[in-house]
Structure formats: C-alpha cells, structure tokens
Structure 1
Amino acid sequence: MDHQMVQSIVEEVVLQLHQAGKPTPSVPIGVSARHVHVSREHLEVLFGSGYALTKKADLSQPGQFAANETVLLAGPKGSIEKVRILGPVRGATQVEVSMTDAVRLGYRPPLRESGDTKGSSPVTIVGPHGSLYLTEGLIIAQRHIHMTPQDAMVFGVKNGELVSVQTSGKRSMVYDKVLIRVSERYKLDMHIDTDEANAALLATGDAGNLVQSSDDAG
C-alpha cells in the first residue's frame, strides 16, 4: 500500500470521526526515568575499548532499547547510582533527568527537546572502566508525543506543534506545551518524566487525550 493510499484512508477515517462527533484516539503514556544516551567514544571511555551495549529490553520506539549497562551520575551536591543507558549509541552523549534528580545532583538543567544540549548543564558520568566530565549535556526533557505522519493526520497536528493533553483518574491533569514529534520511524507514545507522572499518579500504559493546542490555551 503506497503512501498516497494510506493518506487517503486516514483522511477518510478522520472525516468519519468528526461527522460522528467521536473523539480522536487517546495517546498512550510512557514514563521516562532518568537515563543516558551515550556516544561510541564515550561508551569506550566508560566501559573499555571495543565495548558494545547489551540489550535488556526493547522500548516503545522501534529500534530503541534499555541496555543492561548502568553508570553513576555525579554533581556538586551528590550522586545517583545505576542510571541506565539507552541504546543504540548516538552521535553525542546526553543525560536526561527529572528536576528532583537535578536537585539531588546540585544542578538546575534547562528544559530542552532531546538532542538540544548546547549550553545545558555539566555532569560527571562514572562507569566501571573510567569516567568523563561533560561541560554540557544534562537536561530535563520536554514532554513530547512521538507520532507517525498518519497519526499526526488523525490528531490534526504537525511536527513541532505544542498541544495540551488531558489525563483522567484520581489526580487528573492537563499537561500543556507537549511537543509533537513526527517521523515514519516513530510509534505513537507520549513521554513524560517521573516527576510529571508522580504528580498525576500516572504509570506507563495509562493514556491521555489531546484537548486543544497550547497556543489556543493562551
């Protein structure tokens, strides 16, 4: 089935949903704990020359996995042990933590989209073979939703757009400024950190609904 045919089918489904007055599908939520993305060079510094990550479990996004390997993060006020590395290796090393984690380390990292580490906080990473000090690379990840282009059409959003997501339950909450990230490589999933999940008593596998764009929310 070619892309044009898929697009036509999705557009027809969206039209039928609107005509029937039915809401668009919910978004599955994944809670992202503190973790490290590591470059090939830094992996070898931490674990030894020629070292390769070993898979512990697949993640929600195709091709991504939680590795068996963990490291220690250190800052001016404290450290955090057994922080998991996520694979595969990347072009640059990046550490994502919650605000609670950052306070424990003694830093106030910026809120950033994954990959945007310029001018972010420093951090020390310690592995079994060696350690390294990053002058930048520690961030708090902006909450976001991974989508395929077909998902984006169903929800009526585009890459880079900011939306709001309503959750339900005993501590229902509206998350605003949720970044939409669209790629054929993605699978539908909203990522929030542990602080955000704990505030709403959410766990991986829960779901939310897009309610409006953040721009419209004022």
Structure 2
Amino acid sequence: MARVKLAPSILNADFRDLARAIAQVEGLADVIHLDVMDGNFVPNITFGPLVVKAVRELTETPLDVHLMIAHPAEFVEDFARAGADWISFHAEVTRHPGEILGLVRNLGKRAGIVLNPQTPAERVFDHLEITDYVLVMTVMPGFGGQEIIPEALGKVGEIKGEARRQGLSLEVEVDGGVKAHNLDAVLDAGADIVVVGSSIYSAPDPRAAAEEIRRVLDMHPGIT
C-alpha cells in the first residue's frame, strides 16, 4: 500500500512570510503545491519563477508547480530552472500535450497534465504513457476557497482504470475544495495526492490543521 501524498497549496498562505508558511507544513507535506496563474487562461494572477525560486531556497520538499497559464511551453524551462520538481499544465490549452510532457521530462522533471472539472478523462488517455501524474481539478481553476464539485471525482477512477488497462503506473492528484468533511470521499475516489489550501492556511493554527489532515491520510487504507 502506498501512502497518500499531502500537497499543501500556498495560494492561501501569508505571502508576507513565506518562510513561516513553509515551516508550518514542513515534515507533513510530501510536496508543496504552487499555483501559477497568468490572468489569461484564468482571471487571477499569482506569481512567477521568482517566487518559486524563493520557496525552493526555503525547503528541500519537492515543489509541485501547477501552470494555470495559456502558453505553458514558453515557460516550462523558466520554472524548471527556478526549482520546480513537478510541472503540470492544462489539457485545455494545447492540441499537442505530448510535446509539452516531453519537454518537461527532458528537463528531468515529473510531468503532469491537468483536467478542468468539465473536461472528460478521455482527453488524456492517449498520453498516459508519457505522463507521471494527472491532476483532476474539482473546482473551476483560478481562485482558492471554492466548494468541491463532487462529480469531478469520478474521473480519478476512470484515469486509474485506463492506466491499469495500458499497463501503466501513474498518480492522480486531486485539487480543489478539499476539506475535512469531504476528505474521505476524495480518498475513496482513489486520489494518490491531495492538494489542500484554505483548510490549512486559513485555519487559526495552520500547523495543527496540517497535522490533522496528515493523520487522516495516514489512517486511510492506502492505494493499491
């Protein structure tokens, strides 16, 4: 049984003190999730490679960079150089995802592809062989703190089932609206990696919140 990975998202952290935000999840997080938004593919704007570089200098925990941007191929190398370990991009922005997946892998990084809630799982089936993980969005991308769209969780099983059919081993990450009251549903859907943002960083005690989520993940039967 594999341990479910916790990926705290710093989107809801206090950007005035990123060092403290990272320290609050140190030792509990398997990866740190960073949402990069360009104001084009999504309406919000967050940060770029300089912030990723700053976070890289604060921790040895792998950095999971989620590119919510219209032209990911143009920026993959910049984020890789800044210290990203995992780089994912949206299936909705390209007709040739294999080219971007190959670019990420050629840079020695884990390559992921992201599906918005309305995008069917089948969109990625032809590219699973060169994909390290698929990120299933369970909210509309662009803003933190939204409520989960439970129907989107069905894609987790569809993707994992297709991967098994192809004889492949890959991880499925769930991102969006994950909170204590729906965490069991996310785990039961088969998530290998769980992104949690506001439930940690909007809590009165982020460290305690992260510890409780870690406890629930560790109590889950695990992933076969």
> Do these two structures clear the TM 0.5 threshold for a shared fold by scoring above it?
no
Higher strand share goes to which structure? Answer: 1
Structure showing greater radius of gyration is: 1
TM-score by length of 1: 0.28
TM-score by length of 2: 0.28
